Amino acid sequence: MTQGTARERLIACLARRVAGCRHVAVGNASPIPAAAALLARALSGGAMTIYVLGSRANNPYGDGARELFDSAGQGRLDAFFLGGGEIDGAGNVNLVGVGEHDRPAMRFPGSFGSAYLYFVVPKVILFREEHSRRVLVPRVSFVSAPGTSPPGVFRPGGPSALVTGRCAFAFDRARGRFMLESVHAGDSVDSVRADTGFDFDCPARPPVTPDPSPEELRLIRAQIVAELAESYPVFARKEWPALAPA
């Protein structure tokens, strides 16, 4: 078994974040988190229910997103993967745009139900493959989903982690801050800090993010690639040209 690629490492890293969950959902345009959810389900022996937006094979809801939101509000969704055009050190997410609202310099896809899910889903894993000061900013230009809430606000959900293409952070909700949890192979604390726009806590010696185990890598290549191709055929063929269905 060959060593995993950088993206296979990300898939395995994200899959471990939802181990033990019963119901997991993935947002739009998220092939790597979708692959992670598929891998987590495979590792659970099929005990996990997953919802991949835009998928027919991996959609347990007959009424689409509305039923997903109902399930989340009833406490039946354990984890959700969420991206952001901008993410800051307080866990705030911007999915609207940058610049003046009526004349934005950049327009993002839109919030959809992210603000609602951010409040009610117990474990929200933020993900953005790009790790730069353009994405990880001191303060988001527009708060489309807040990372924390004032005392007295009922909020069972919120961010638990942020995984990027260079490292993994855990989020301390009580303090409203990220802590560097591991650094991906080839990076360092100094390089991560140089390209992060917000301050974060850091242990003396953060570990290197583990590579996929032989079993994780076998499942990704033997099963997950084909399942992912149903929703993300272009990504699957580009990432695994010899394995993805034509």
d(CA 145, CA 132): 20
CB 103 within 8 Å of CB 97: no
Distances from the Cα of 185 to the Cα of 151, 191, 218, angstroms: 39, 12, 20
pLDDT in the model for residue 62: 79
List the domains of the chain with CATH numbers.
Answer: 6-239 (3.40.1080.10)
Quick one: angle between helices 31-43 and 6-17, nearest 10? Answer: 60
Write the pLDDT tens digit of every residue in 203-224. Answer: 999 999 999 999 999 999 999 9
Which helix H or strand E contains 31, and what residues bound it?
A: helix 31-43
Average pLDDT over residues 13-17: 98
Global pTM value: 0.94
Write the pLDDT tens digit of every residue in 107-166. Answer: 888 888 899 999 999 999 999 999 999 999 999 999 999 999 999 999 999 999 999 999
Residues in Cβ contact with 62 at an 8 Å cutoff, skipping those fewer than 6 apart: none
Q: Are strands 97-99 and 104-107 parallel, antiparallel or unpaired?
A: antiparallel
**Extended strands (E) in 54-191:** 79-82, 86-88, 93-94, 97-99, 104-107, 123-128, 136-137, 159-164, 167-172, 177-183
If 0-12 CB within 10 Å is exposed, 13-18 middle and 19+ buried, where does residue 232 land?
A: buried
